[in-house]
Amino acid sequence: MDATSPARITGIYRYPIKGLTPEQLGRAELKPGQTLLADRRYAIENGPSGFDPAEPKWMPKLHFLMLMRDEWLAGLRTHFDDESQVLSLRQNGEIAAQGNLATAEGRQAIENFFATAFAGQIKGPPKVLESPGHSFSDVARKVVSIINLASVRAIEDIVGAPVHPLRFRGNLYVEGWPAWHEFDLLDRTLAVGDVRLKVVKRIVRCAAINVDPDTGQRDLAIPPALQRRLGHADCGIYAEVITGGTISAGDAIAAEQAALL
């Protein structure tokens, strides 16, 4: 293992519906080649996209409701129950819509809410989309996103303002790495107990991170600030699960030493 400062996972989050509320997990079961359970399992189509559940293909996020364009989504609070498959959606502290996403009636209840409450802010009829095994990720491969909290603090210094880590909508939040150390881990294997993840890509950030997840206000301009200061707009890394198992908040995470030739 690396001799760098010990690092730990301080938070685990999933996003059952693309663009909507993160859900914090105390532990998560990871399977090879898969995302966290139900992560980006659903998306809400923003007008006809051509997505075919029978033959799912990756599509750009512009086809769906998403924070890069629809910052008002951050004002909603949602919870998805895996057992019942019921999505509960709160607005201003009150239940605004609820539906079983496994049924046509349940999906329609959610669709009707968006069509009515945000009629002037969506492009076309909203539709809840799902295809078994498909993830509506920003990238075509099934990945786990990892955010280095020291890098978030470095961004606070760059923009001169507090930056909520959940702006970055990561799956795993890590404390103990130096700022930007995650970029040195590209093509390396990360170990969390018996779990192994292969780092495959830096995350290029879009305007979604300009939205405060608490207020729903677009109050910062982070990507251009990073571009001016660092010459890139990246924060975080994507990793693929190569050996599965259970991870928990508080677990140590370390890069395995590269094999000697």
Instruction: Give the pLDDT confidence of 198-238 residue by residue, as tens digits.
Output: 999 999 999 999 999 998 899 999 999 999 999 999 999 99
CA distances from 212 to 207, 208, 222, 245 (A): 11, 9, 11, 33
What value does the CA radius of gyration of the chain take, rounded to a whole number of Å?
A: 19
pLDDT digits (tens, 9 = 90+) for 247-260: 999 999 999 876 54
Return the SS3 of 71: helix
For residue 5, pLDDT beyond 80: no
The beta strand positions in 154-243, using DSSP E, are: 172-175, 189-192, 195-204, 234-243
Count other Cβ atoms within 10 Å, centred on residue 246.
13
Phi, psi of 153 (to 5 degrees): -65, -35
179, 236 Cβ separation under 8 angstroms: no
Task: Give the pLDDT band of residue 6 (cuts 50, 70, 90).
Answer: confident
Task: Please give the pLDDT value at position 257.
Answer: 75
Handedness of CA 82, 85, 90, 93 (dihedral sign): negative
Token pair, residue 79, equals: 């919870």
For residue 138, pLDDT beyond 50: yes
Distance from C-alpha of 55 to C-alpha of 35, rounded to nearest angstrom: 19
Angle, CA 147 vertex, CA 20 and CA 45 arms, to 5°: 25
153, 137 Cβ separation under 8 angstroms: no
% the chain with pLDDT above 70: 97
Distance from C-alpha of 87 to C-alpha of 106, rounded to nearest angstrom: 8
Mean pLDDT of 110-137: 95
For residue 69, pLDDT beyond 80: yes
Distance from C-alpha of 129 to C-alpha of 26, rounded to nearest angstrom: 27
Residues paired with residue 246 on neighbouring β-strands, in sequence order:
29
Of residues 261 and 177, the one with the higher pLDDT is 177
Task: Please give the pLDDT value at position 259.
Answer: 53
Mean pLDDT, the chain, as a whole number?
A: 94
